[in-house]
Amino acid sequence: MGETQLARAAALAELRAEFPVLAQNVNGAPLGYLDNAATTQMPLAVMEAMQRFDRHDRANIHRGVHTLSQRATDRFEEARETLKHFVGAGADHELVFTSGTTDALNMLAHGLSTAGIGDATIKPGDEIIVSELEHHANLVPWQQAARRSGAQLRILRPDAQGRLQEDELARLLGPRTRVFALTACANATGERPPYEAMLARAAAAGALTVLDAAQAVSHETLDVAALACDFMAFSGHKMYGPMGMGALVGRRAALERLEPLRYGGDMVEWVSRTDASFAALPMRLEGGTPNVSGAVGMAAAASFIEGIGRERIDAHVTALRAQAAAGLAAMRGVTLMSPEAHRSAIVSFVTDGVHPHDVGTLLDARGIAVRTGLHCAHPLLEYLGFGPTTRASFAVYNTHDEVERLLAGVTHALEVLR
């Protein structure tokens, strides 16, 4: 091993020490955690930031004149500013805290298709375009929005390799297109669509554009101000942060169109017996007591990522994915999903005659944690002609040795189960 390789190995070992959960054996083998598309692990810096808040500043925000309430409010709003900077939000953007990507997309679909503050943005006869790469969280809310409003839902389908084509989007766009919703990376296949160009094309056609950034936020540099993107949703637990925490970032003019999903405390300006006036953004969309320690932890996770550098993380997880994809593609009876995917941390595959759950169980027996199933993307896998798959997904703390263990485990599973 050369000097540079030794230095990199030492640096990775030091980084892995920041994640206590990794320092354990599972079924007698070192844990190889390759289920990061479902949830990443949290470093000590995030845990400690949340603990500091709970030990020192815990109080309800925006409502008290006492010192702890004011400190808690400061921590909450500082977290908002950190995360706005993290995704490149500009002066005309605002960030709304949610419980995650799913909550953010539900808030968005509901808010655009429900009349309340004014007329609903989506009306009978309008069209909503959603790609077939989507997680159910970026499909089902739009199905319901179409039913609620009388709009038509149109599906942007990929080619046989699971790739989206700009020409097909151009064919679907029309004068009645109100919303175009797209993922930054398909969680079921690892495909990264050309979302920059597709968002720009849809915006030029007059549609509101929505980006589900859940699978990209941990390693891609997302600059919402540079994208033709009206709304972006992402989750804390996909970026080394806490579960139950996320954000909806949007242009203020676009967010102003949303009818609130939750009514109650902290989202009103005044209330009478028969009427209410809502507060300004972002509080108008943040009804109820927020997860303040979660916001603090999510901001700490963003700082953790920036401290390493997203370009370095992106290069690392992309290299791990390429290594895994090459090894799996060389195995007889293994079919790789999106074999040409680039800038992805996800590799998904099927094994002829062997159920993914059996593969996952045998991998777990060797300490390797992967995800098996339909990955909340039933329409995509059905369209591509596949059932459940086995999915490995990579993070900054994963190693090339873990990829080799994955490949050896799949080889073993095929030998045992065929």
Residues 35 and 56 in one domain: no
How high is the mean pLDDT of the chain? 96
Residues 132 and 30 in one domain: no
Position 282 pLDDT exceeds 60: yes
Task: State the pLDDT confidence band at 407, using cuts at 50, 70 and 90.
Answer: very high
pLDDT at 6: 53
Number of separate helices (H) and strands (E) present in the chain:
13, 17
Domain holding 353: CATH number? Answer: 3.90.1150.10
Last residue of a domain, one of 307, 335, 364: 307
pLDDT at 9: 75
Model-level pTM?
0.96
Active site residue 376: yes
Residues 330 and 271 in one domain: no
Reported as type and span, the H/E element at residue 190 is none
Ramachandran angles phi, psi of 93, nearest 5°: -110, 160
Domain holding 87: CATH number? Answer: 3.40.640.10
Residues 229 and 130 in one domain: yes
Peptide bond between residue 282 and the one before it cis (omega within 30 degrees of 0): yes
Residues 358 and 402 in one domain: yes
pLDDT at 64: 81
User: Which residue, 385, 387, 389, 377, is CA-closest to 131?
Assistant: 377
pLDDT at 63: 78
Position 348 pLDDT exceeds 90: yes
Position 173 pLDDT exceeds 70: yes
Last residue of a domain, one of 279, 307, 335: 307
Residues 363 and 287 in one domain: no
Residues 325 and 405 in one domain: yes
Last residue of a domain, one of 288, 307, 326: 307
Q: Max alpha carbon distance in the chain (Å)?
A: 74
Range of the domain at 97: 47-307
Residues 237 and 378 in one domain: no
Residues 124 and 178 in one domain: yes
pLDDT at 46: 98
Annotated active-site residue in 38, 376, 408, 417: 376
Residues 220 and 349 in one domain: no
Per-residue pLDDT tens digits for 147-172 = 999 999 999 999 999 999 999 999 99
